[in-house]
């Protein structure tokens, strides 16, 4: 890896899971780790001080969004993404490929790159692998991602193969264009649900000089079983000496499955998005904070949780949502981020003890249900 970066695997579990340690110029994190999404240099509704208290390590920003607002030059002039948002830890920027797929208007993707209309003001935008590298180097995150061609699932096999091959070509261009020595660069495995394409993508990227590899193109409509099968087909073909990142995933059960498969890093908007819509994640299932049965419930969301929300009763938190008070979404977002960090710690401890299979099975059933 580049100077200032290091990754080591401290322990492995019979399931294939790993407990590791990732060092960056802005600090180190233990893996497996969940990375909160701060799309526009802000984790929605959560200030950086409270964010650190949740146990978060790495925070994400997004190339597409930050290029449109406020512009990478503004962020660069502030000292880079971490300084701009007041965050003292490591940061990662996604390349913008998923947002081109999910948000942009009038998109035209060719082998050269993507041309589209901004979802903000309709302005014409061009994004090539070289553009993505320039923007991400200006944003100055510790970890940058290659630009990839993302397709929704299900999709025509020919389109899936085209996207995989195009992403490989773009990976080589990103490596050539990326020159910042204090920023790691990760490649992204594509290939839809086709095991052969996933293997070919993983093996080709593994031969390149990326500092880590991500599994992309999932959580785009394929369903949990298909995602698990795709991970099983992909993971044996990824190198063991570099971090592995599952992009945009997901629910607590997905994190358990991902860690068991050997994934080291995760990100998803779900903890804060669900927090804003009155859904709290617990180790005994999801709790619907607007439910009438909570009207006189004096218990916290979760008894042993150290988050600010759990200093209050379920009754009070329900009241905040029904009254339209912004404090309700903020507190439940903080709870969900804390729960995800605690889940990562519990899984990591199980890997270190060689007991992940047992612990994962104990967690799976309750965590998928509805909390009492």
Q: Based on the domain organization, do 73 and 198 belong to the same domain?
A: yes
Q: Based on the domain organization, do 173 and 282 belong to the same domain? A: no
Q: Tell me the percentage of the chain whose pLDDT exceeds 90.
A: 90
The answer on 184 and 319 residing in a single domain is no
Q: What are phi and psi of 38, to 5 degrees?
A: -115, 70
Average pLDDT over residues 5-32: 97
148, 22: one domain? yes
Q: How many structural domains compose the chain? A: 2
Establish if 364 belongs to a structural domain.
yes
Q: How confident is the model at residue 23 (pLDDT cuts 50, 70, 90)?
A: very high
Q: How confident is the model at residue 333, as a pLDDT?
A: 98
Residue 87 resides in a domain: yes
Tens-digit pLDDT profile for residues 255-283: 999 999 999 999 999 999 999 999 999 99
Q: What is the pLDDT of residues 205-264, one digit of tens each?
A: 999 999 999 999 998 888 889 999 999 999 999 999 999 999 999 999 999 999 999 999
Distances (CA, A) of 348 to 12, 262, 358, 362: 10, 11, 13, 15
- How far, in Å, CA of 60 to CA of 332, rounded? 20
Exposure letters 160-197 (e unless 16+ CB within 10 A, then b): bbbbbbbbbebbebbbebbebeebbbbbbbbbbbbeeb
pLDDT band at residue 42 using 50, 70 and 90 as cut-offs? very high
Instruction: Map tokens 């785009």 to a residue.
Output: 220
- Write out the residue range of the structural domain in which residue 338 sits: 275-368
Alpha-helical runs (H) found in 145-284: 157-177, 195-206, 224-234, 252-261, 270-276
Mean pLDDT of 282-296: 98
DSSP letter assigned to residue 369: S
pTM of the model: 0.97
Active site residues: 94, 267
Average pLDDT, the chain: 96
Q: Which two tokens stand for residue 361?
A: 């099975």
Verify that 33 and 12 share a domain, yes or no.
yes
Look at residue 75 in the predicted model and tell me its pLDDT: 98
The answer on 329 and 186 residing in a single domain is no
Domain match, 185 and 322 both: no
Both 313 and 253 in one domain: the answer is no
294 belongs to a structural domain: yes
Last residue of a domain, one of 237, 268, 299: 268
pLDDT at residue number 101: 77
Say whether both 166 and 250 belong to one domain: yes
| Domain boundary pick from 253, 268, 283 | 268
* Pick from 198, 205, 151: nearest CA to 175: 205
**Is residue 39 over pLDDT 90?**
yes
Strand ranges across the sheet with 91-94: 33-36, 265-268, 244-246, 212-215, 184-189, 143-145, 91-94, 59-62
Question: What is the pLDDT, as a whole number, of residue 97?
Answer: 83
CA–CA dist 26, 29 (Å, integer): 10
Choose the final residue of a domain: 245, 268, 291. Answer: 268
DSSP state of 37: B
Bridge partners, residue 214, by sequence = 188, 245
- DSSP assignments along 169-207, one per residue: HHHHHHHHH---TTSEEEEEE--TT-HHHHHHHHHHHHT
Gap between the terminal Cα atoms of the chain: 47
Q: Which residues contact 259 (CB under 8 A, 6 or more apart)?
A: 17, 32, 344, 347, 351, 356, 360
Q: Assign residue 258 the CATH number of its domain.
A: 3.20.20.105
The string of pLDDT tens digits covering residues 294-315 is 999 999 999 999 999 999 999 9
Residue 1 lies inside a defined structural domain of this protein: no
Same domain, yes or no: 44 and 16: yes
Res. 152 pLDDT band, cuts 50 70 90? confident
- In this structure, the answer to whether residues 102 and 216 fall within a common structural domain is yes
**What is the predicted pLDDT for the residue at 68?**
94
**pLDDT attached to residue 146:** 98
Asked whether 30 and 56 are in contact (CB, 8 A), the reply is no
In a shared domain, residues 259 and 308: no
Strand order in the sheet with 114-117: 105-109, 114-117, 124-127
pLDDT of residue 45: 96
- DSSP-based three-state secondary structure for 39: coil
Question: Does residue 251 form part of some domain?
Answer: yes
The pLDDT, as a whole number, for residue 286 is 98
Give the span between the Cα atoms of 128 and 209, in whole angstroms.
Answer: 20
Pick 101 or 211 by higher pLDDT: 211
């Amino acid at each position: 890896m580049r100077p200032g970066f290091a990754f080591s695997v401290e322990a492995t579990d019979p399931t294939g899971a790993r407990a590791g340690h990732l060092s960056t110029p802005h600090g180190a994190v233990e893996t497996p780790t969940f990375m909160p999404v701060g799309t526009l240099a802000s984790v929605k509704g959560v200030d950086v001080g409270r964010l650190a208290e949740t146990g978060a390590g790495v925070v994400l920003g997004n190339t597409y969004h930050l290029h449109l607002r406020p512009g990478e030059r503004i962020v660069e002039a502030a000292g880079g993404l971490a300084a701009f948002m007041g965050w003292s830890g490591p940061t990662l920027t996604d390349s913008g490929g998923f947002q081109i797929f999910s948000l942009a208007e009038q998109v035209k993707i060719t082998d050269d790159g993507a041309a589209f209309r901004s979802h903000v003001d309709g302005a014409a935008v061009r994004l090539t692998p070289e553009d993505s590298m320039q923007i991400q180097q200006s944003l100055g995150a510790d970890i940058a991602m290659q630009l990839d061609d993302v397709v929704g699932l299900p999709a025509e096999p020919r389109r899936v193969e085209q996207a995989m091959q195009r992403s490989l070509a773009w990976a080589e261009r990103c490596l050539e264009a990326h020159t910042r020595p204090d920023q790691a660069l990760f490649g992204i495995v594509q290939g839809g649900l086709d095991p052969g394409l996933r293997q070919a993508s993983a093996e080709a990227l593994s031969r390149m000089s990326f500092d880590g590899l991500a599994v992309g193109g999932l959580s785009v409509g394929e369903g949990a079983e298909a995602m698990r099968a795709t991970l099983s087909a992909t993971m044996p073909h990824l190198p063991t000496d570099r971090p592995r990142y599952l992009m945009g995933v997901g629910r607590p059960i997905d994190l358990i499955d991902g860690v068991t498969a050997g994934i080291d890093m995760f990100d998803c908007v779900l903890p804060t998005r669900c927090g804003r819509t009155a859904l709290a994640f617990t180790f005994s299932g999801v709790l619907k904070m607007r439910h009438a049965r909570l009207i006189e419930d004096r218990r916290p969301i979760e008894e042993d949780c150290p988050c600010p929300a759990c200093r209050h009763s379920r009754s009070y938190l329900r009241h905040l949502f029904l009254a339209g008070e912004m404090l309700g979404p903020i507190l439940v977002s903080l709870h969900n981020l804390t729960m995800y960090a605690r889940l990562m710690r519990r899984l990591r401890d199980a890997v270190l003890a060689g007991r992940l299979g047992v612990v994962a099975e104990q967690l799976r059933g309750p965590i998928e249900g509805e909390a009492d």
